[in-house]
Amino acid sequence: MRLETSFSICLSDIPKDKIQVSEKNGKKYLNLNQFVDTEQESQYGTHGSITISQSKEEREAKTPKVYLGNAKVYFSSEGQAQQAPVQQAPNFSPSQLAEDTPF
């Protein structure tokens, strides 16, 4: 089954010690988990949540998960969720674009 979800995360809630720096390229990474239940919607209209991944030791110690946000399914290949309505982009003339573009 193919799912497409839309989600946002709260960057303020990310513990700095969970951000990993790659030895290969020096970029910063945060490992996340996403739980999705296409058959049940929460009272807020969401289908899942996003948490920071836990180590084996954290899971065994039953350390509380750090929740960063929620997810909403907007497409499922099995038809369990409705596809989000397509939003049309505003129709601007080339002269309007030139006037409104800051560069």
Q: Between 11 and 85, name the one with better pLDDT.
A: 11
Average pLDDT over residues 7-31: 93
The overall average pLDDT reported for the chain is 78
Which residues fall within 8 angstroms of residue 33, CB to CB, at 6 or more apart? 50, 51, 52, 53
* Residues 9 and 50: beta-carbon distance below 8 Å: yes
β-bridge partners, 65: none
Q: What is the pLDDT of residues 52-80, one digit of tens each?
A: 999 999 999 999 999 999 988 877 676 65
* Residues 74 and 6: beta-carbon distance below 8 Å: yes
Q: What is the pLDDT of residue 1?
A: 66
Q: How confident is the model at residue 103 (pLDDT cuts 50, 70, 90)?
A: very low
Q: Which helix (H) or strand (E) holds 34?
A: strand 32-36
H-type alpha helices, the chain: 56-60, 94-100
Q: Give the pair of three-digit tokens for residue 26.
A: 């020096």
